[in-house]
Structures are given as structure tokens and as C-alpha cells.
Structure 1
Amino acid sequence: MTAKQRHITHVIYDMDGVLLDTEPFYTEVTQQIVQQHGKTFTWALKSQMMGRKPLDAAKILVDALELPITAEEYLISREPLLDALFLTAQPLQGAQTLTRHLHQQGIPQAVATSTPHAKFLLKTHAHQTWFTVFNTIITGDNIAVKQGKPAPDIFLAAANALQADPAHCLVFEDALVGVEAAKAAGMHVVAIPALALDKTLFATADAVLNQMGEFRPELWGLPAF
């Protein structure tokens, strides 16, 4: 498919693992909690949880490891540990460069994250100036997001807020369920999986990159650097 055929007019980003390097925080804290019950948190399990709403992901964890706690108790126990780490979140390579470039070129952009709004504020606390380049922010607890990823709700909500045709939206995702959600929304999607994940699992994405710095806007009908 050529750049003209793609004709991307709007860009939507997942946040964790795409814009901000927060995914290691979840791994670290979850391993701390499950090892108290003699369990190990693997990437195979994490890949099933990534991109989902917190409670949905927690239920997968508790069921898979047969933990003697509820999903709600797991979320409560991890909260203070994660909150402290969220304040230290740093941008991923290439994220600021691309988003600022597209902003300067007048391309409307949105963030569509399963993160609840309160946690979004913690993660972006040190990056408020950067996040002004986004025209809209849709968090997982937005009223329009009835179902979490892999349902398309959050991306359709972002497109609606941008007044964009989903067929002309490009999504950046690092999670399998996020890729599924973007495709279900009728959008193009670029996957940037964590290095520990098997890239062949992301075959339904329109492109798979190692990091955002590899992205070439002109191949998608967007202004080149």
C-alpha cells in the first residue's frame, strides 16, 4: 500500500510502552507481589495483560497464577509501589521527536491509553509541556470507553474527539490487544513490541518497528522530517 493510498490524516498513540517507558514498572512491581506467593511473573503472561484495563489485566494474572488474593486486592497492593515509580517515567526513544514534528506540521494527534485519568496525571507529571502537542487525551475510565482493548472503543472515542475518519487514522501500539483494538476500529496500526516479545505475533499490524525512531512519516502520507 502506497503513502497516497494510506492517506493518514490523524495519529493516535497508546501511552505505556509507546510514549513513556513505564512497562518495566509493572513488571517489577508485579513480580514483587507474586513472589510473595511463590509465583513467577513471565513475559508470556505479561503479553496477555498488556494494554488491557487494570481490572481486566489483574483478573488474568490472578487466574493464571492461581493467587490466593482477588484481582481487586492485587490492584490495591500494587498502587503505592507503582505511584512512586510513575513519577519517574521517561520518554521512549523517538517519541518526543515524532510527536513534536507532527504537531509542528499541523497533524492532529491523540493519546488513547487504558490508564485511568488519575494515573495518567502521575505518569505525565514531568512532561506536561510535551503532552500539550496532543489535541485530545482519552483514558481508560472515559465515559465513552465501555469496553477495554481489544474492543475498539478507546480508539473510536479518540477518532470522534479528533473528528477523524477511522480509515485515515494511524495508531501506535506495543500490545497485542491494542493492535487488535485498532484493527477492529478500522484503523492502520504500527506495532512497537517490547524486545522480549515475539514480533511474529504482531503479523496483523501494518508495520512492526523496534522503536519509534525508525518510523518514516512520508511512507504514510505524513510530512517527512
Structure 2
Amino acid sequence: MSFEKVTHVIFDMDGLLIESESIYNKILSEIAASFGKVYDLQLKLRILGTPEPETARIAIEALNLPITRDEFLKVYRQRVDEELTNPVLMPGAQRLVEHLHKHKVPIAVATSSAEDSMKIKTQHHKKLFSLFHHIVCGSTDPEVKHGKPAPDIFLVCASRFPDKPDPSSCLVLEDAPNGVRGARAAGMQAVLVPNEDVLEELRKPATLVLKSLLDFKPELFGLPPFNDCN
């Protein structure tokens, strides 16, 4: 299997760098249950990776909830702020980020989270997140007009590297099929590290599918390989 060489790497955050998806599922399930509704797998896969306003829109429409988007988001964001103050890092995340930074590979984050939410979730991992050149927060960044699966966030993210690389020179690492679709639409290769719930059909657009970031081999994409010291 051969892949195109890349020079820049863009990371998703939730579910890829930090373990937050289980908390999101819990919050959304509880919001649905408060109206006598069920947050099922089909809805979860539709929402996975979307920016917060889109999460609210999809949930309200799919579950026919008798609340406005602003009312939904108020409850949702309050719960996120309460329950996601110190998420653990996903296996292999720190190792890979530190490795790429050490070898001067330009790295950035493209997350659908709002900026305030991102800061709360990363407050205990400031040293690691300081290694990224920049972080684009899709729910609040004015340049990101459309959320994942649109390509906007990835194109904006690439444009903020000092050398403004061509999208084809960027590799995206994602846990969500919506993110992979957005990356591919932006003209980038995309590695998917999905939750086991993600259906086989939704994995197909990915350039490569891995079980964990621990399985990622940078050299497949022309990046410096790990060695015994990493």
C-alpha cells in the first residue's frame, strides 16, 4: 500500500487526542432521555465530529425535541464544561505529537469544538497542546463557514501554517467519518482511527484506517519514523 508524501499534519481533537466521546454520548443520551427520547447509534454516527450548532440542529430534528437550538446548546455546553475538565489522552497521542514536533514537522489542530470548550478540555494538557503551531475551533472561528463534513476547517487550518502548504501536502488524523469526508473534500489524505461503533461503510473514504494512534507509522507518508528512543 502506497501513500503520497506529506509535509504537514492536522489533528482532530475529540476522540483522537483526548478521550471525550464517551462523555459526549452520555450528555446527549441524558438530554434525549429528559424528553423521553433515545439517542441511538444511527444518530450518534450522524453527529460525530460535527460543530456544536450542527450537533444541536441534528439532535433537535432527529428526536423532535420541543426546544430551540440556543436552549439545547445552553444545556449541552454547561454539561460539557462540568464533565470534560480533565479528559485523558488517547493511546499514542502524546508520543506522536511529541515525535512530530521534535522532528520539526508542522502540526496543528482542527477541532469542531468552540474555543472556550477547547480551553476547558485541554487545561491539564497545556504543555502538549502548546506544541501545535495553531488550533482552529470550528464552532467559533469566523473563517470556518461550514462545519465537518465540509472541507472549510481543514482548508483554513492549512492556510494558517506560515508556508501555506498545498492541501495535498497535508495529512489529517481523525476519529470521525464526518471529519474524514471533510479532509478528503479538502484534497488531503486522511487517517481514520474510529470507535468500534463506526460502520464499515463509513470507513471507506479514509486513506488508511487504524485501531489506534499507536499503530501509526509516520514513514508511510514520508515523515520521520519512530525509533527506539521515542
Smaller-chain TM-score bracket: over 0.9
Give the ranges of 4+ consecutive aligned residues of structure 1 lying more than 4 Å apart after TM superposition. Answer: none
1:1-80 paired onto structure 2 within 5 Å: 2=2, 6-80=4-78
Offset at residue 174 of structure 1 (A)? 1.3
**One-letter amino acid matched to 1:17:** G
Q: What are the superposed Cα offsets for residues 119-152 of structure 1, whole Å, 9 maximum, x if unpaired?
A: 1100100000011111111111222211111111
What is the CA–CA distance in structure 2 between the aligned matches of 1:199 and 1:20, rounded to whole Å?
23
Q: What are the superposed Cα offsets for residues 41-94 of structure 1, whole Å, 9 maximum, x if unpaired?
A: 112101101111111111111111111222221111122221011212111010
Aligned residue number for residue 205 of structure 1: 206
1:143-182 paired onto structure 2 within 5 Å: 143-162=142-161, 163-182=164-183
For the 8 Å contact 2:17–2:89, the answer to whether it is kept is yes
**One-letter amino acid matched to 2:190:** V
1:76-87 paired onto structure 2 within 5 Å: 76-87=74-85
What is the CA–CA distance in structure 2 between the aligned matches of 1:78 and 1:115, rounded to whole Å?
12
SS in 2 for 1:51: coil
What is the CA–CA distance in structure 1 between the aligned matches of 2:209 and 2:113, rounded to whole Å?
23
**One-letter amino acid matched to 2:186:** A
What is the CA–CA distance in structure 2 between the aligned matches of 1:100 and 1:132, rounded to whole Å?
11
For the 8 Å contact 2:109–2:134, the answer to whether it is kept is yes
Q: What are the superposed Cα offsets for residues 191-212 of structure 1, whole Å, 9 maximum, x if unpaired?
A: 1111121133210110011111
Q: What are the superposed Cα offsets for residues 161-192 of structure 1, whole Å, 9 maximum, x if unpaired?
A: 11211101000111121111101110000011
What is the CA–CA distance in structure 2 between the aligned matches of 1:80 and 1:142, rounded to whole Å?
20
**One-letter amino acid matched to 2:144:** V
What is the CA–CA distance in structure 2 between the aligned matches of 1:107 and 1:199, rounded to whole Å?
31
What is the CA–CA distance in structure 1 between the aligned matches of 2:22 and 2:205, rounded to whole Å?
25
SS in 1 for 2:10: strand
How many residues of Structure 1 are paired with residues of Structure 2 in the alignment?
Answer: 223
What is the CA–CA distance in structure 1 between the aligned matches of 2:189 and 2:11, rounded to whole Å?
12
For the 8 Å contact 1:167–1:186, the answer to whether it is kept is yes
What is the CA–CA distance in structure 2 between the aligned matches of 1:181 and 1:80, rounded to whole Å?
28
> Does the C-alpha gap of structure 1 residues 192 and 199 become closer, same or farther in structure 2, counting only changes over 3 Å?
farther
Offset at residue 9 of structure 1 (A)? 0.2
SS in 1 for 2:110: strand
Aligned mate of 1:94, from 53, 76, 92? 92
Aligned mate of 2:134, from 105, 126, 136? 136
Q: Normalising by structure 1, what TM-score?
A: 0.95
Q: Which runs of 5+ in 1 are unaligned?
A: none
Q: Normalising by structure 2, what TM-score?
A: 0.93
What is the CA–CA distance in structure 2 between the aligned matches of 1:7 and 1:196, rounded to whole Å?
30
Q: Among all aligned residue pairs of Structure 1 and Structure 2, give the percentage whose two residues are the same amino acid.
A: 40
For the 8 Å contact 1:199–1:208, the answer to whether it is kept is no
For the 8 Å contact 1:14–1:112, the answer to whether it is kept is yes
1:97-116 paired onto structure 2 within 5 Å: 97-116=95-114
Q: Which runs of 5+ in 2 are unaligned?
A: none
**One-letter amino acid matched to 1:35:** A
